[in-house]
A and B are shown apart, each in its own frame.
Chain A
């Protein structure tokens, strides 16, 4: 098994973060976006993210150059014919993902693993558009990918044993993260548990039990969370949390997944969290909390 060249589809938050981590581990990354402009934008954002890492002393300026030099900008997927694996991280939309996988199936070598970073969509359904669904698997990374050493390795109904073993080897030996095996199920483990917690925090806030600040302090200080559930929601994006909750509510049909009214209201008001500068708390352009 050789993993040297990895294709990453999508230069959004997750795609960039995955590309950055892979390159940091010494792998050659082929980052795919639809247009030159989107690629340029993704690269600018990558630079900003690496600069923030330099500020935190995580890397040096020389290492930043090296990391960027290993990420190749690709706007034509046919250039993925030599990659050893592909990780897809486009918008969480089944139709878009299917289109991407149809194309990946055509351009990549037939024995290459096609992984999706989906956090809640059905892998079995994504795999259905590929000739050999055995080579499709889920690799769900958590943002920021460089800092969080956990990957959910998600087996769809038809994921082959060999694909799973190779993906596990990739996660644990090549990029050296903890891989947990998850059988396909809406929200897997991480999204399912954390969204329920966030949703419950929203109910708690809505019922006037405690202030947003105090709810977060309770969990941060009381249970050693890095961020409280409301700040976490701001960081994920309120719209993303709402989408995940609605999907799980639909799939499971269980009331415990019903998104809180407050969440819906805030999304409608465009207060989406860090990306709009305001959610339950306020943030500056770098994503640092102001209040």
Chain B
């Protein structure tokens, strides 16, 4: 009873990983893209064997799930003998709102709540629900769990989650800060405590999840105290194509001056801002870093990105009244040597002392990049949201079984 399938369903895509929780190993992973079109793409990667690429017509998520199950049980490319070997399915859900604050097994109420949150996560929750329905149709007797990106941040106090605007908006329309990337922030904070061999509750941690989307979390007593993303993933840090924090008065001003609709201004802030807007070159940090010696706009984009991240770290040090550990994770956080360097070199007042050699090492292991005499531990920890989802699902499965006995 140890095989867990982790699903991340998007509106036209489906990513999956099959875990064996005996040793937390990945048996296979893959993805289906372009669901709903004539030529959908399937990439299936069984462990220790050759990848399988296929193109088929997959018109909906139910068919996509069926194909995934076929690949997992395929005599040549498969990793399990039959679908009966899958003991549980874990789904990644972006928005759990105020009510869904921890991982749980799916029932009708949970599904209804996920549906109720469509307004708050219009790009994600509808797709997740399609993934759940598709799984139920294919594996009706297998327990399914949901793990929320927002759940870890549900411990934020009202002081941190409310916006200083009329409270009726909170009561009527759920306008408050929820935070995202929670699974990742939680995972790397736990890993950090393990690596340092100290109890998680004893540490003041600032975790920086810097990928395509980016957020920083202040962690106290092992719990999220504050995080930089708010009601939507637009708040906080400057990102690849997202603006992050700005003066809210800019929105109506730009709408009036440029005659923009709500959709247009949303699209401007989410897809046409950030690194892309300032560099005029790319939303990809690697390209920005490569170009910044010769291109002043790329340099400016990098500097703004770094400065805005550093300001958040500074403000979260104030929020926590000090900091013991700073963690970098996700695509940019794990790989950008130069970004980490520039951030850390300007945090010496906090007691951060970077070891440049350690920082320059490229590795997929948890590692320390601060000097031995640094007052603040600075760590790079590869995130693994899928594993967290598998772990939670596995735990819920065992609890259910214990209850059943």
A residues bordering B, Cβ < 8 Å? 2, 4, 26, 28, 56-60, 147
Contacts and interface: CB of A to CB of B under 8 A. Distances in A.
A57 B268 contact: yes
Contacts of A57: 260, 264-265, 267-268, 271-272
Smallest CB-CB A-B distances: 4 pairs: A57-B268, A57-B272, A58-B264, A56-B264
B293 interface: no
Contact of A58 (B12, B37, B38, B263): B263
A56 B268 CA distance: 8
Taking each of B38, B260, B263, which has the highest tally of chain A beta carbons within 10 Å of its own beta carbon?
B263
B18 to A, nearest CB: 29
Q: How large is the interface on B (under 10, 10 to 19, 20 to 34, 35 or more residues)?
A: 10 to 19
B340 to A, nearest CB: 29
27 contacts: A2-B59, A4-B36, A4-B59, A26-B12, A26-B36, A28-B37, A28-B38, A56-B258, A56-B260, A56-B264, A57-B260, A57-B264, A57-B265, A57-B267, A57-B268, A57-B271, A57-B272, A58-B261, A58-B263, A58-B264, A58-B267, A59-B267, A59-B271, A60-B241, A60-B271, A60-B272, A147-B261
A2 B57 CA distance: 15
A68 to B, nearest CB: 15
A56 B267 CA distance: 9
A226 B75 CA distance: 63
A203 B271 CA distance: 46
Nearest to A27: B36
Given A28-B38, A58-B261, A60-B272, 5 more contacts: A26-B12, A26-B36, A56-B258, A58-B263, A58-B267
Contacts of B36: 4, 26
A168 B63 CA distance: 26
B287 to A, nearest CB: 15
A147 B264 CA distance: 10
B111 to A, nearest CB: 19
Interface string B253-282: 000001011011101100110000000000
Nearest to B271: A60
B68 to A, nearest CB: 22
Interface in B33-57: 36-38
Contacts of A59: 267, 271
Contacts of B258: 56
Nearest to B273: A57
A2 B261 CA distance: 30
Nearest to B277: A57
A30 B265 CA distance: 30
A59 B38 CA distance: 24
A58 B271 CA distance: 9
A3 B310 CA distance: 49
A272 B284 CA distance: 47
A28 B37 CA distance: 9
Contacts of B264: 56-58
A56 B261 CA distance: 9
